[in-house]
Structure 1
Amino acid sequence: MARVELRNVWKKFGSVEVIKGVDLDIEDGEFIVLVGPSGCGKSTLLNLVAGLETLTSGDIRIGEDVVNDVPPKDRNIAMVFQSYALYPTKSVQENITFGMQTRRIAHDLQERALADVSQLLHIDQLLDRKPGQLSGGQRQRVAMGRALVRNPDVFLFDEPLSNLDAKLRIEMRTEVKKLHLRLGKTIIYVTHDQIEAMTLASRIAVMDNGHIRQFGTPEEIYENPIDLFVAGFMGSPSMNIVRGRVAGNGGTVIEVSDEEGTVQFPLSPKQAEKVADRLGSDIYLGMRPETIAHRGAHGADGGETFVFERKVDVVEPTGPDTMLVFTLGGTEAIARVRPEEKVKPGEFFSFEVNMAKAKLFDAENGNRL
């Protein structure tokens, strides 16, 4: 296993800055997920760690060694790509052992590694097949097996599940999680899927425009987003963010107005203290869909919950929950309620908000207060 450290890492393609002064400390055995929208720089950052791209400036350290000028084959890393990158004319066995053959690993060691990996990934009955005879999930297992036999210090995954259908993605996500628990190896994993990031990671780095906006545990990222970007990006459905105005005696409520009327969201004393000097100023109120639910959903005391009525625009049953789409502050909002709540589009519904879970964001810079 190995620590991975990035210090003031920059990458430019011509005059375009793709990675902008990234610092990152990854501990031995951590499962780190780089997540962000397309074009944010997450795959480029992974390629820099792999040595597939050269640094413009900064340092990358794997274990005790600075690897800026070390070629990929000597970094003791293994990479699993989105495209599988299997040799179509070679069997599963040949695909897995090909790298060991080129490095002239002893035949008995190849056989032992192949047996261990194929049993671990449940592909031991597929060894004589060609990639064209395999399903997408089986091909990804083979690609993972080819990486595993190298016994690297660090595994790098670049959106390995994005080509799979929804059901298979969930199954393979579980397999990747199990694999990490068994091996305890350091993993850096790139995805644009927030659910994948939340379920797999020990810590998440949320990236945007070449920067890391926030680096923390899934719980920290979800419950305490550092700014509006992280709040809006992480979570599915994402956090409801509505623009309001600080009002009340000493800033005790957030007024949210639109053509359906005004709702005054009461703040806790701790929340009110954060906006006491902003009376009359605009502010963003953030509430995740589960924070807005049906009456009695939160089981909290009266000081933490608040009920308001709104007309329901869309009803989206999902099985265990029902999503209610409505308008708040002129923007679309989503509430997560129990499926027993029978409501139709166009009807009014009494929503209960757990204000203890609500977040406040500065209207100018988007930072959480």
Structure 2
Amino acid sequence: MAKVELRDVWKKFGNVEVIKGVSIDLDDGEFVVLVGPSGCGKSTLLNLIAGLETLTSGEIRIGDTLVNDVPPKDRNIAMVFQSYALYPTKTVQENITFGMQTRGVDRAVQDKALADVSQLLHIEQLLDRKPGQLSGGQRQRVAMGRALVRNPDVFLFDEPLSNLDAKLRIEMRTEVKKLHLRLGKTIVYVTHDQIEAMTLASRIAVMDNGHVRQFGTPEEIYENPVDLFVAGFMGSPSMNIVKGKVVNEDGYAIAVTDEEGTIRFPLGSEQAAKVKGREGEEIHLGLRPETITHVGAHGAPQSDLFVFERAVDVVEPTGPDTMLVFTLGGMEAIARVRPEERVRPGETFRFEVNMGKAKLFDGKTGMRL
């Protein structure tokens, strides 16, 4: 195993800055996910760690070794790509052992490694097949097997599940997590899917425009997003963000106004302290869909609960929950209620919100208060 350290890493392509001063530390055996929208720089950052791209400036260390000028083959890393990158004319067995053959590894060692990874990945029965005879999930297992036999210090995964259908992605996600638990190896994993990031990672680096906006555990990032970007990107459905103004009428509140009128969302003492002296200022109120639900659903203290009414625009049954889409402060908002709640589009619904879970963001900077 090995830790990975990035210090003030920059990458330019011509005059275009793609990675902008990234500094993060990955602990031994940690599963770190780089997540963000397309074009945010996450795959470029992974390629810099792999040595497939050269740094413009900064330092990358794997273990205790500075690897800025170390070629990929000498970094003791293994990479699994989105495209599988298997040799179509070779069998599964040949694909997995090809790297060992080129390095002159003893045949007995090859056979032992092949047996171990094929059993670990449940592909023993596929060893004589060629990639064209395999499903997408089976090909991905073979690609992982080829990486595993190298016994690297660090595994790098570049959106390995994005070509799979929804059901298979969930199954393979579980397999990747099991694999990490068994091996205890350091993994850096790139995805644009924040559900994948939340379920797999020990820590997540949320990237945007070449920057790491927040680096923390899934719980930290979900419960305490550092700014509006992270709040809006992480979560499915994403956090409801509405504009309001700070008012102080028998206690601090965020007043949200639209065509249906004004709702004053009351703030607790800790939240009130954050907006003290900001009367009249614009504040973004952040509420996760699960914090807005039907009356009686919350187990929170009564002092944190607030009930308001709004007309429902869209009803979206999902099975275990029903999503109610409504307008709040001129923005589309989503509430998560139990499927037993019978409501039709156009009807007024009584929503209960847990204000103890509400997040406040500065109206100008977008940073969480």
TM-score, L = length of structure 1: 0.99
| CA–CA separation in structure 1 for the residues paired with 2:332 and 2:306 | 19
Specify the alignment match of 2:124 in structure 1.
124
Specify the alignment match of 2:111 in structure 1.
111
Q: Give the letter aligned to residue 224 of structure 2.
A: N
Q: Pairwise mapping of residues 23-38 of structure 1 onto structure 2 (< 5 A)?
A: 23-38=23-38
Residue pair 1:251, 1:278 contacting (<8 A) in 2 also? no
| CA–CA separation in structure 2 for the residues paired with 1:300 and 1:135 | 47
Q: Give the letter aligned to residue 144 of structure 1.
A: M
Asked if 1:171 corresponds to 2:171, the answer is: yes
Asked if 1:196 corresponds to 2:183, the answer is: no
Q: Pairwise mapping of residues 316-335 of structure 1 onto structure 2 (< 5 A)?
A: 316-335=316-335
Q: Percent identity?
A: 82
Specify the alignment match of 1:148 in structure 2.
148
Specify the alignment match of 2:359 in structure 1.
359
Residue pair 1:251, 1:276 contacting (<8 A) in 2 also? no
Residue pair 1:255, 1:262 contacting (<8 A) in 2 also? yes
| CA–CA separation in structure 2 for the residues paired with 1:301 and 1:49 | 47
4+ residue segments displaced more than 6 Å: none
Specify the alignment match of 1:65 in structure 2.
65
Superposed displacement of residue 345, structure 1: 0.6
| CA–CA separation in structure 2 for the residues paired with 1:251 and 1:136 | 58
Superposed displacement of residue 250, structure 1: 7.5
Q: Pairwise mapping of residues 222-233 of structure 1 onto structure 2 (< 5 A)?
A: 222-233=222-233
SS of corresponding position for 2:125: coil
| CA–CA separation in structure 1 for the residues paired with 2:338 and 2:248 | 33
SS of corresponding position for 2:124: coil
Q: 1:251 to 1:13 in 2, by over 3 A?
A: farther
Q: Give the letter aligned to residue 37 of structure 1.
A: P
Q: For residues 96-150 of structure 1, what are the alpha-carbon distances to aligned partners after superposition, in whole Å with 9 as ceiling and x for unaligned? A: 0000000000000000000000000000000000000000000000000000000
Specify the alignment match of 1:90 in structure 2.
90
Specify the alignment match of 2:261 in structure 1.
261
| CA–CA separation in structure 2 for the residues paired with 1:199 and 1:99 | 31
Residue pair 1:247, 1:280 contacting (<8 A) in 2 also? yes
Q: Give the letter aligned to residue 28 of structure 1.
A: D
SS of corresponding position for 2:23: strand
| CA–CA separation in structure 1 for the residues paired with 2:365 and 2:233 | 17
| CA–CA separation in structure 1 for the residues paired with 2:304 and 2:221 | 22
SS of corresponding position for 1:300: coil
Count of residues in Structure 1 that have an aligned counterpart in Structure 2: 369
SS of corresponding position for 2:225: coil
| CA–CA separation in structure 2 for the residues paired with 1:265 and 1:249 | 11
| CA–CA separation in structure 2 for the residues paired with 1:90 and 1:176 | 25
| CA–CA separation in structure 1 for the residues paired with 2:217 and 2:251 | 32
Q: Give the letter aligned to residue 66 of structure 1.
A: L
Residue pair 1:93, 1:128 contacting (<8 A) in 2 also? yes
Specify the alignment match of 1:340 in structure 2.
340
Residue pair 2:78, 2:152 contacting (<8 A) in 1 also? yes
Q: Give the letter aligned to residue 59 of structure 1.
A: E
| CA–CA separation in structure 1 for the residues paired with 2:10 and 2:253 | 44
| CA–CA separation in structure 2 for the residues paired with 1:43 and 1:16 | 16
Q: For residues 69-101 of structure 1, what are the alpha-carbon distances to aligned partners after superposition, in whole Å with 9 as ceiling and x for unaligned? A: 000000000000000000000000000000000
SS of corresponding position for 2:58: strand
Superposed displacement of residue 277, structure 1: 1.0
Q: Give the letter aligned to residue 180 of structure 1.
A: H
Specify the alignment match of 1:278 in structure 2.
278
Residue pair 2:251, 2:266 contacting (<8 A) in 1 also? no
Gaps of 5+ in 2: none
Specify the alignment match of 1:74 in structure 2.
74
Specify the alignment match of 1:40 in structure 2.
40
Q: Give the letter aligned to residue 301 of structure 2.
A: D
| CA–CA separation in structure 1 for the residues paired with 2:263 and 2:101 | 69
Q: For residues 322-351 of structure 1, what are the alpha-carbon distances to aligned partners after superposition, in whole Å with 9 as ceiling and x for unaligned? A: 000000000000000001101111111000
| CA–CA separation in structure 2 for the residues paired with 1:282 and 1:10 | 35
Residue pair 1:197, 1:204 contacting (<8 A) in 2 also? yes
Q: For residues 237-281 of structure 1, what are the alpha-carbon distances to aligned partners after superposition, in whole Å with 9 as ceiling and x for unaligned? A: 000000000012376110000001111100001101110110011
